[in-house]
Amino acid sequence: MPEMVPVTPYGLAALLPKTLPCTRIRYGDDSPVQFADLRLPDATPPAAGFPVILFVHGGAWLADWTKDYTAPFVEALTAAGFATWDVEFRRIGNSGGGYPGTFLDVARAADHLRTVARAYPLDLANVIGVGHSSGGHLALWLAARAGLPAGSALHGADPLRLKGVISIAGVNDLEHALEHGGRADILHMLGTGSASEAAGLFAETSPARLLPFGMPQALVVGTLEEPWRIAMTAAYARAAVQAGDRVELIEPAGLDHFAVVDPSGPAVAIVAGAARAMLG
């Protein structure tokens, strides 16, 4: 197998997709960043429409990171046969970003697919949530949100049901990441100053606390990842299986945190294959 060349965040961010999205659609009017890009495969759609990958980018929930850095990866997933709904949302640094706005935005973007499907050939019975890094956290949260209690600020009356979810180097367990990964940005994202203050919010924001989801999950973490993230992903996978979910843990050799979203690397085939398996 050829040696993988590490991809720096700046090098990956400098890449541009080769094509424009089919359309950019606003799902909200509270912020300029409440939009998503829709891409459709260059093929005749199936009778039920194209299966959809709903993609959530990462970047530590910060406004400094936009979806541009993963747009080429999303473009590659489109070429693999999926319609893609590439979501932008309010983050820390945007007015209204953090808790609860970040969560409410990705939820609203997901539910807006029902409106989008009126004009475009999308199979809403086959929507796979995919996210990278902090976006992996949010993708998993989207898969779990149907179980939120009615009293939660994040509760939605009729959330779009996903067929499955794929977390790529995701922050799958907020408490583990805070304790073992030193991820104090989690407290910032939740609007709290300490773990004790955040404790009451973990039950509705951390995927590990919301298990089981009742749908298949795939967890992708490269062997060159930070040790705490590898350990967190393995522990989360065990907890999800014990809770009753079907979970695939995928550990591609020689890939680091950004190589797992390199559009020219092996991760495109890995993620597309995991999504197809969920579609059955």
**Tens digit of pLDDT for each residue in 63-111?**
999 999 999 999 999 999 999 999 999 999 999 999 999 999 999 999 9
Do 52 and 84 form a contact (C-beta atoms < 8 A)? Answer: yes
Separation between Cα atoms, residue 201 and residue 191, nearest integer Å: 10
pLDDT score, position 280: 87
Assess whether pLDDT exceeds 80 at residue 208. yes
Distance CA 192, CA 129 (A): 28
Please report the pLDDT score of residue 14 as a whole number.
57
* Model pLDDT for residues 146-170, shown as the tens digit of each residue: 999 999 999 998 999 999 999 999 9
**At 60, is the pLDDT very low, low, confident or very high (cuts 50, 70, 90)?**
very high
Closest to 220 measured CA to CA, from 263, 161, 165: 165
Q: What is the set of domains in the chain, with CATH numbers? A: 9-279 (3.40.50.1820)
Q: Give dist(CA 5, CA 256) in Å, integer.
A: 10
Query: pLDDT for 179-192, tens place per residue?
Result: 999 899 999 999 99
- Tell me what pLDDT residue 9 has: 57
pLDDT (0 to 100) of residue 1 = 27
Structure tokens given for 217: 């999950």
Task: Tell whether the model's pLDDT for residue 222 goes beyond 80.
Answer: yes
Is the model's pLDDT at 262 over the cut of 70? Answer: yes
Question: Residues 3-40: pLDDT tens digits?
Answer: 344 455 555 555 688 889 999 999 999 999 999 999 99
Q: What is the pLDDT of residue 79?
A: 97
Buried b (16+ CB within 10 A) or exposed e, 18-32: eeebeeebebbeebe
Q: What is the pLDDT of residue 264?
A: 93
Q: For 229-256, how does the pLDDT look when each residue is reduced to its tens digit (9 = 90+)?
A: 999 999 999 999 999 999 999 999 999 9
Residue 8 has a pLDDT of 59
